[in-house]
Structure 1
Amino acid sequence: MSFLNKLKNEIIIADGAMGTLLYSYGTDSCFEELNLSQSEQIQHIHEAYIGAGAELIQTNTYAANYLKLQRYGLEDSVKEINSAAARIAKKAAKERAYVAGTIGGIRGFKPNMITLEEIKRSFREQLYCLLLENVDGILLETYYDLEELETVLAIARKETDLPIIAQVSLQEAGVLQNQTSIADALAKLEGIGADVVGINCRLGPHHMLKTLESVPLPKHAYLSAYPNASIPAYTDGKFHYEGDAEYFRQSAIEFRNQGVRLLGGCCGTTPDHIKAFSDVLKGLPPIEEKETKAINKVMVSEKPSSSRELPPLQDIVRERPSVIVELDPPRKLDTSRFFEGAKALKEAGIDSITLADNSLASPRVCNSALGYLVKQQTGLRPLVHVTCRDRNIIGLQSHLMGLHALGLNDILAVTGDPARVGDFPGASSVYDVSSFELISMIKQLNEGLSFSGKDLGQKAAFSVAGAFNPNVRSLEKAVGRLEKKIEHGADYFISQPVFSEEKLLEVHEAVKDLKAPVYIGLMPLTGSRNAEFLHNEVPGIKISDSIRNRMASLKDDPAQAGAEGIAIAKSLIDAAAELFNGIYLITPFMRYEMTVELSNYARETTERLSRRKQHA
C-alpha cells in the first residue's frame, strides 16, 4: 500500500529527532557526515524508531545541501552523503516503514542573506540525489520563510509524483515569521501541490495544539505535526531537553482530534516519545470533520505610545540649516564634564547631540543612559548610535525596545569598529546583522513588528540615520551604498569628517540627487599628532597634505595649534554651508568648547547666507 493510500484511513506515526540523539552521544559537528563515517550508528537510530512504532522514517539529510555542508568543507560531498543516507534508511526500514527523503529549510530570521537563486540550485542538487535512491516520498521540514518553502515545493512538485510533505515552523502560536496565519500558509502549500501539510520544530505540543485549533482540515491534503519535546535548557555548556514521554502520551489524542494524520517528533524527541504516540493512536481512525477556533491576536496600535515632541531631523534639515554635534560618552565613571558640554551645546542652539556606541570598540558609559539623562536635564534631543558589533539579534531588539520606552527616537545605525581595535582585542564582534539589515529591522519596529515578525502591540517612532564614509577611493560606490540604505529605510545620512573644500564639492556633487538629506561631518583638529593619527590610523578619515603641514608647523605650540584647528574648521563651515543644509560637528577628546564655538559660528554663517539669499 502506498504512503498516501494508507493516510486515507489511518494515522501514521513518524520518527523523532536524529540530531538530538547524536548530540547526546557526544557528536557536535556535522551530523550528516556520519552517513559516511558512522553508518551503523545512523542505522541503529532508525531501527530504534521503527521498534518504537514509527511507520515513516526520514533520511539523515536535513542539512545535507551545498550551502550548509559548505560550513564543514563538505560541499563537494552532497551526492555521496545523500545517497548513503537514503540507503541506510532503506536498509533499516526493511519494508517495515516508509522512507522520506528529508530536505531542511535554509533561511532563518535573515531571509535576504541567501538569495532564492542560491537556494534553488542547492535544493535541486539534493532533491535529485534523493530521488535517484527511490525514496518513498520527500519531506520538506523546518521552513521559517514561507517564500523559500513555496519556491522549493514548486520545484519538487514539478520533478516528482512522489508524496511530498511540506512543513513550516511557527514564529508564535498561529503565525509564521512574516505574520502569515498558519491556516493561510498551509492552504497555499496545498495549492502548490503538497500532499501533506503541517508544522514542525520550535514549539512543543501545547502551542502546536493551540495553533492547530485554527487550522481547518485540508480539502485534498492531510495534516502533519512534529512537535519539539520542550524548550531546550543549557547546562554546563550543553543543550538538553527535559520534556518526558508521558507528556506526549497525554497529548496524542488531542493531535488526532485536531485532524493530524501524520504525527512525529522534532528536536528533543526520542524513541520513547514516539512510542508514547504509537501506544495511544495505533489502530484509531483519523477524524473526518472538525470545528476551528480563531487565534486571539493582539492588534497593533496605529499610533506610537510616545509621540514625537519634535519633528524628525530629516524634516528639519530639509526645511532649514541644521547643526548637530557628537559628544562621546566618557570612558570613565565621572560624567560631570560630559554634562557641562551637553548644557553648553544646548545653549549654542544645536538641534541634536549624538552619542557614539563604544566608539573604536572601547567601553564607555552607556549612550542610551546618557541620552535619557541629557534629554531630562537639558531638553536637548539625543541621537543615539546603535552598532551591530556588541549585541546579538536578541540584545539589539531589546536595546531598541528600551530606547522606545525611554522616548529616544533618533538613531544612527552603524556597523561598529571590530573588537580587535579596542581595549579588549580578544572580545567577540557579534555582527548578527549588517547595518543594512539593522536599518530594515528598526523600520519593522515602526510597523509594530519585532525582528522575528512577532506582533509588538504598538508601533515605534524611530527616525533612522545611516553612516556615510566619503573618504574612499570610489565615491560612486559609497553613494551606491547610501542608495541601498535608503531602500532598507534610512531617512538621512551622517558623514565621516571631511577635511578639504575640494572634498566637500565632490561629495555635494555625488549626493545632490539622493532622496535622503546628508549631514556633512566636520571635526576641529587639536594638533599635529591628532591630525596624523586620524589620517593614518582611523578608518574612514583622510586629511590633506596641506592641512597636515599647517598643523605640523605648530606642533610645539599647543594653544596656537588648537586655534589653527578652529580656523580650518571655520573655513570648512563657510564652504559646507553653501552646499549642505546639515552640518555635523564632531567633538575631539571632550573639548566641547571647540564645538560650542563652531556651533555658534555655523549658526551665524547660515543666518548670514539666508539673509544674502533673501536680498539676492
Structure 2
Amino acid sequence: MTQLLQALKHNILIADGAMGTILYSEGLDTCPEAYNLSHPEKVEHIHRSYIDAGADIIQTNTYGANFEKLKAYGLEHKVKDIHQAAVKIAQQAANDDTYILGTVGGFRGVRQEDLSLSAIQYHTGIQVDTLVEAGVDGLLFETYYDLEELTNIIQATRRKYDIPIVAQLTASNTNYLRDGSEINSALQQLKASGADVVGLNCHHGPHHMQQSFSHIELPDDGYLSCYPNASLLDIDNSEFKYSDNAEYFGSVAQKLINEGVRLIGGCCGTTPEHIKFIKSSIKDLKPVTHKDIIPITKHQTKTTTTSSKVNLTTKVKQRPTIIVELDTPKHLDTSLFFRNIKKLDDADIDAVTLADNSLATVRISNIAAASLIKQNYNIEPLVHITCRDRNLIGLQSHLLGLSLIGVDEILTITGDPSKIGNLPGAMNVFDVNSKGLTEIAQRFNQGINTDGDALKQATNFNIAGAFDPNVRKLDGAIRRLEKKIDSGMNYFITQPVYSKEKIKAVYEATKHLNVPFFIGIMPITSYNNALFLHNEVPGIKLSEEILTQFEAVKNDKEKTRELSISICKELIDTVHEYFNGLYLITPFQRVDFSLELAAYSKTITSTKQEAIL
C-alpha cells in the first residue's frame, strides 16, 4: 500500500481547491493550464497558498490539458510539456508531507463530444503516462459526467500502473447520473473498475453534495472523496461569481465527513480561505467506518397508452404512406396556411411535416402551429426540431411541450447555420447534433431527462432522421445513416431527389437497413427555380434534359406546371417500385402541387395493391 492510501486508512485528508477561479480573478486570458509554461510562478504561488491553508494534497494544474481542449488555444502540440511542467511546479511548492495528484478531466461533458471512446482513451493515456513518469503520488480523474468513459479510463490505467487512483463523477442531479444510474451504484462500479477512492466533484455546492452522500455507501476496501463547488453560480454586474461563503463551507464539511467522506477538497469557486475553514472545522473529527444509508425514494414513471394510435413507422411498413411538408408563414396572416392544412387533411394525407425555421429564416413557431393542428384537424403533425436555436435547456423544454400537446412524431436535425439565413449575425447553439438530440428524446421515452431525473411519465416520441442522398459517394452517407439509427432514429426523410437513377441507388444502398424511408419529391415551379436548385442548393443537380425542358416553357406558366407534374409523377412511379414512403415538399405554399401528386400516388399504389390481391 502506498503512503497516500496508508494515510487515508487512518486519517481524513484535506485537498486543495480551485486553480482556475484564482487565475481568472487575476485576469487570465487563456486556458489555466497554459500558465504552467508562461507563468509557473503564479501557479506555484497558488499551490503554496493551499498548502499554507492546510491542504494535505494538491493537484497538478492539468485538468483541461488534453489534446482536444488545448486545440482551442493552439497548444495541442504542448500536451506533454504542460503536464511535465505542472508536476515540476507542484513538486517545488510541496512540503515533504504533501501528496501530489496528477489531474485528468473528462471529455464527455454536458455538450456532446463526437470523439470515440478509443480516441478518448488514446488522448487520456498520453496524459496519464506523462504524469506517472513525472512522479505524481496518485491520479485524480475528476469531473466525469459519463460513467462508461470513466470506468474504461480507470481500467486502462490500472492495467498499466499500480498507483493510487481517485475517481470522481459529476452529477447534475443529487441522486442520479445523466444515464439514470444511481450515484451509489455508479461509485461501486468505479471501485470495481480499479479506483481506490471514489466520489463526486463539481456542479453542486456543499449542501447538495451532503444530500447525495446521505445515499452513498462506504466502499469496501476503499474511500470516499468529495470536492464541492463553493456554491451555486451567480451573476454580479455581468460577471460570474460564487458566494463568499468559506465559513459555511467549513461547517457543511463536517456533515460530509460524518457521511463517510475521507478525502475532502474544493472545486469551482473555492479558494484557500475555504480550505482553511475545512481544516479548522474538521480537526477533531475521526474517519467514519460505519454509516446508515438513507434509501432513495424511487420515482414512479407512467407509460403512455398508445394502443389506439399507429405511428408513421408502423404505417409505412404496412402500406404506402404520404407525408407533406408545409412551411409555417413568415408573418402572422395564417389564413392561407390553415386553409392548406385543411385541404391536406381532407385529402387524407398521413402527416404534415412542419420545418423549424428552415434555411435559418424566421417563421412562426412550428410547435404553436402543431398545437392548433392537433386541436382542429385530424392530420398528424410531424414537427422538426433543430439543434441550432436552443441549448440543452431549451431543447428539453421543447420536447416536454410537444409531448404535453400530444405531438409524438418528430424529426431531429442539426440545422442550417445561421449565417445562411436572414439574420446571419445570430448565434448558433449546437449543444448537441441530431444524434445527441435523438438520444435525449429516447431517454424521455424511458421517462428520464438529461440530469438522470425521472419525468414521472414517459414520452412516446417516434423519431425521424434526415437523409441527403444527393452526395457523390453514398457509402459515406450510409455510414452516417447507420450511426443515426444507432442513436435511436426510427425512420428517415430524404432531401428532394430529381432522378430515377438516384432513387434506385438509394434503394440498393439502404435495403439492408430495417428502417423505412420517405423519398423526397419537390416540384419545380419555374425555370428560374430550376436554375436555383441546380446551381445554388448543395447536392442537387438537375440533368441537362430537365433544364432544357423548363427553359423551353419558361414563359408559359401552365406548361411549366404540367412539365413539373409530369416529371414528379415519373419519379413517384419509381419511388413506389422500391419504397412505401413518399415525402412531398410543397413549394412556396403551392399546395395544389402536393394534392395532385398525392392523389396520383394513391391511384397507382391502390391499383398495384388490387393487382396483388
TM-score by length of 2: 0.95
Alignment map for 1:484-523 (pairs within 5 Å)? 484-523=483-522
Structure 1 CA distance for aligned equivalents of residues 50 and 73 of structure 2: 28
TM-fit CA distance, 1:112: 6.2
Q: Aligned-pair distance for 1:535?
A: 1.6
Query: 2:209 aligned with 1:191, yes or no?
Result: no
> Secondary structure of the residue that 1:199 maps to in structure 2?
strand
Aligned to 2:49: 48
> SS where residue 255 of structure 1 aligns?
helix
Contact (CA 8 Å) 1:308, 1:461: kept in 2 or not? no
My pick for the range that moved more, 22-31 or 132-141, is 132-141
What is the aligned partner in structure 1 of residue 449 from structure 2? 450
Amino acid at match of 2:338: F
Deviation sequence 1:15-62 (CA, Å, 0-9, x none): 111111111112142101101111111111112112211111111111
1:432-451 CA-to-partner distances (Å, cap 9, x unmatched) read 22222322322222111223
- Relative to structure 1, is the Cα distance of residues 603 and 214 closer, same or farther in structure 2, using a 3 angstrom cutoff? same
Q: AA paired with 2:534?
A: H
Q: How far off its partner does 1:309 sit? A: 5.4
| In 2: Cα distance, 1:101 partner to 1:275 partner | 22
How many Å apart are 1:455 and its aligned residue? 2.4
Distance 2:125 2:514 in 1: 41
Kept in 2: contact 1:211–1:295 (CA 8 A): no
SS of residue matched to 2:168: strand
| More off after superposition, 127-136 vs 359-368 | 127-136
Q: How does 1:260-339 map to 2 (within 5 A)?
A: 260-301=261-302, 303-304=303-304, 307=306, 310-339=309-338
**In the alignment, is the contact (CA less than 8 A) between 1:496 and 1:541 conserved in 2?**
no
Note the 1:200-239 alignment, pairs <5 A.
Answer: 200-239=201-240
Indicate if the aligned counterparts of 1:109 and 1:452 stay in contact, CA closer than 8 A.
no
Take 2:4 and 2:480, find their aligned partners in 1: how far apart are those partners?
A: 52
How far residue 202 of structure 1 moved from its aligned partner, in angstroms, is 1.1
Preserved contact between residue 66 and residue 79 of structure 2 (Cα < 8 Å): yes
Q: Equivalents in 2 of 1:504, 1:289: separation in Å?
A: 67
Does the aligned pair in 1 maintain the 2:177–2:451 contact within 8 Å? no
Instruction: Map Cα deviations across residues 482-525 of structure 1 (whole Å, 9 max, x no partner).
Output: 33322222211111222233333333333333311111111222
Root mean square deviation, CA, Å: 2.0
Name the counterpart of 1:259. 260
When residues 554 and 109 of structure 1 are mapped into structure 2, their CA distance, relative to the original with a 3 A threshold, is same
Could you give the per-residue CA deviations for residues 555-611 of structure 1, whole angstroms, max 9, x where no partner exists? Answer: 112233123222322333333333322211111101112212222222222222222
Q: How many residues align?
A: 612
| Unmatched segments (≥5 aa) in structure 1 | none
The residue type equivalent to 2:505 in the other structure is E
- Evaluate the alpha carbon distance shift between residue 183 and residue 505 of structure 1 in structure 2; reply closer, same or farther with a 3 A threshold: closer
Deviation at 1:296, TM superposition (A): 2.0
Relative distance call for 1:191 and 1:497 in structure 2 (3 A) is closer
Identity %: 48
1:566 maps to 565
Q: What is the deviation of 1:237?
A: 4.3
For 2:34, the aligned partner's letter is: E
Q: Which blocks of at least 5 consecutive residues in structure 2 are unaligned?
A: none
Question: What's 1:22 paired with?
Answer: 23
Q: CA deviation at 1:267?
A: 0.7
Partners of 1:514 and 1:159 in 2: how far apart? 41
- Farther off after superposition, 478-487 or 25-34: 478-487
Aligned-partner SS, 2:34: helix
CA distance change for structure 1 residues 364 and 309 in 2, over 3 Å: closer, same or farther? farther
1:126-137 to 2 correspondence within 5 Å? 126-137=127-138
Structure 2 vs 1, CA of residues 267 and 310 (structure 1 numbering), >3 Å: closer, same or farther? same
Query: In the TM superposition, what is the alpha-carbon distance from 1:228 to its structure 2 partner?
Result: 0.7
**Which 4+ stretches in 1 moved above 4 angstroms?**
none
Q: Secondary structure at the match of 1:113?
A: coil
1:111 Cα shift?
6.5
* DSSP 3-state at the match of 1:72: coil
Please tell me whether residue 424 in structure 1 is matched to residue 415 in structure 2. Answer: no
Q: Distance in 2 between matches of 1:567 and 1:194?
A: 68
Aligned counterpart, 1:170 = 171
1:584 aligns with 2:583: yes
Amino acid in structure 2 at the alignment position of 1:319: Q
TM normalised by structure 1 equals 0.95
- Equivalent position amino acid for 1:440 in 2: E
Q: Is the 8 A contact 1:448 1:459 kept in 2?
A: yes
Amino acid at match of 2:292: E
User: Quick one: which amino acid aligns to residue 44 of structure 2?
Assistant: Q
CA distance in 1, matches of 2:76, 2:544: 50
Contact 2:4/2:99 (8 A) holds in 1: yes
2:426 match: secondary structure = coil
| Cα pair 1:496 1:540 within 8 Å, conserved | no
Q: Which digits, 9 at most, give the CA deviation of each residue in 1:454-501, with x for residues without a partner?
A: 322221101111112222222333333333322222211111222233
Whole-angstrom CA distance in 1 between matches of 2:129 and 2:511:
52
1:346 paired residue number: 345
Match of 1:132, SS state, is helix
Equivalent residue, structure 2, for 1:602: 601
Deviations for 1:154-209, whole angstroms, at most 9, x for unmatched residues? 23334443332222212311222222222222222223332222111111111211
> CA contact under 8 A between 1:448 and 1:457: conserved in structure 2?
yes
Per the alignment, in what secondary structure is the counterpart of residue 134 of structure 2? coil
Distance 1:237 1:544, change over 3 A: farther
Q: Which amino acid aligns with 2:475?
A: E
